[in-house]
Structure formats: C-alpha cells, structure tokens
Amino acid sequence: MIAHLRGQILKKSTQSVIIETGGIGYEVLVPLSTFYALPDQEQEISLHIYTYVREDAIQLFGFRSTLEKELFLMLISVSGIGPKLAVNILSGIGPEELLEAIASGDSMRLRAIPGVGKKTAERIVVELKDKAQKFSGELRIVSAALPEDPLISDAISALTNLGYPLKSARRAVEQATRQKGPGSLEELIKEALKALV
C-alpha cells in the first residue's frame, strides 16, 4: 500500500496531480485545499497518500497535511461515504472548519457543501461527533505545544502509517523534538520510535 509520495509534479488540475517518482508517474486525486497549496509544475512535492483498491481500479488520494488525511479517513468510515465524496467534502470546506462543524453538530454547515444532502450531513454528525470532539481537543493540545512544521507533520504521518495511534505518534514526536531538536526526518522518526517502545 502506498502511504506517502515525494516527487516532481508533471501535471496538475483541480481534481488531480501527476507525481513522477523513480521514473513512474502516479495520478493522485486531491481536495482543493491540497491543490491550492501545490507548487508549480516541475517542482518537488510531498503528499500523504491513501490507497483505495476496488475490483476494477486502484486510486490514490493525496493530502498535504496529516489533518486532511485523518479527516478523510474519518469521513470514509461513515456509511454511504466513499473516497470521492470525502474528497469533495474536503474541497468544499477547510479542514479546521470541517472538524469544528462536526464537533459542534452543525449539520446545516455541512449541507452547504455541494453533494452533501440532509441525510448525509446528519449521518456525518451522528457517526463522527464524538470522534471529532476528541480529535479537536487533541489537536488544540498538540498545536499549543508544537509549531506546525512539515518535518514534524511528516514524522507523525510516518508513525501513523506504521500503525501507531495518532495521539501516541504526536506525543512521541513532541518528546523527540524537545529532547534532540528536529534534526533530519530520519533522526526524528528514530528518536520518536524510542519513545514509543
């Protein structure tokens, strides 16, 4: 399963980006929030990836931040929401605003997103409200302790892709950063893994 891609942008549109890495071009579907953060063509990019496998297709979905990917995973856990609708939702509302709307039970705000009807909005609130409140609380604690740094974000993503829970991964990276300083991504991950043992 592909969990992360770093490479050169060959082509980009509002729906997808083609990233070349190791001589192979991967088409990655992205929400608008990620698209607007993309550099120009032929520049290097790093995206968190979700690999979606069906009988007739393999699709890659890419996100610039771990928050976007976590919200995407939360959304596709809701019955009736597939990856394309989840990306559409992330395109229609910013990640922080989406988290706040779910946590506060604001289904009207969700219904304003194209493609989200009354039943879908209510289902999102019912199924994700508790998770969103908990996640929102964790996020506030971590963001108060850590500046938003791509290196830190990549380290947290690497640990969650290894199967560690988000909360534990954030705590370990925070501890490693305090003890040793950020250093390189590899050093930060190694130090964080020691804290997780």
pLDDT of residue 140: 55
Helix axes 166-180, 185-196, angle to 10 degrees: 120
Is 136 found in the same domain as 77? yes
Is 129 found in the same domain as 81? yes
Identify the CATH number of the domain in which residue 116 sits. 1.10.150.20
Q: Which stretch of 27-31, 33-37, 79-83, 85-89 has the lowest confidence by average pLDDT? A: 33-37
Task: Domain of residue 168: give its range.
Answer: 150-196
Is 138 found in the same domain as 71? yes
Is 94 found in the same domain as 52? no
Q: With b meaning 16 or more CB within 10 Å and e meaning fewer, what string describes 132-160?
A: beebeeebeebeeebeeeeebbbbbbbbb
Is 179 found in the same domain as 120? no
- Residue given tokens 């992330």 in the structure block: 90
Q: Give the residue from 33, 63, 93 where a domain finishes.
A: 63
Identify the CATH number of the domain in which residue 191 sits. 1.10.8
Looking from the CA of 30 toward its CB, the CA atoms found within 13 Å total 27
pLDDT band at residue 145 under the 50/70/90 scheme:
very low
Helix (H, G, I), strand (E, B) or coil at 6: strand
Identify the CATH number of the domain in which residue 31 sits. 2.40.50.140
Is 9 found in the same domain as 37? yes
Is 112 found in the same domain as 44? no
- Residue given tokens 């605003």 in the structure block: 97
Burial class of residue 122 in the structure, from the number of CB atoms within 10 Å of its CB (0-12 exposed, 13-18 middle, 19+ buried): middle
Q: Are 120 and 157 in contact (CB under 8 A)?
A: no
Q: Is the pTM of this model over 0.95?
A: no
pLDDT of residue 21: 93
Percentage of residues of the chain with pLDDT beyond 70: 91
Burial class of residue 178 in the structure, from the number of CB atoms within 10 Å of its CB (0-12 exposed, 13-18 middle, 19+ buried): exposed
Domains of the chain: total? 3
Q: Give the residue from 102, 124, 145 where a domain finishes.
A: 145
pLDDT of 57 over the 70 cut: yes
Averaged over 108-117, what is the pLDDT?
90
Tallying the residues shown for the chain, one arrives at 197
Q: Give the residue from 42, 63, 84 where a domain finishes.
A: 63
Helix (H, G, I), strand (E, B) or coil at 90: helix
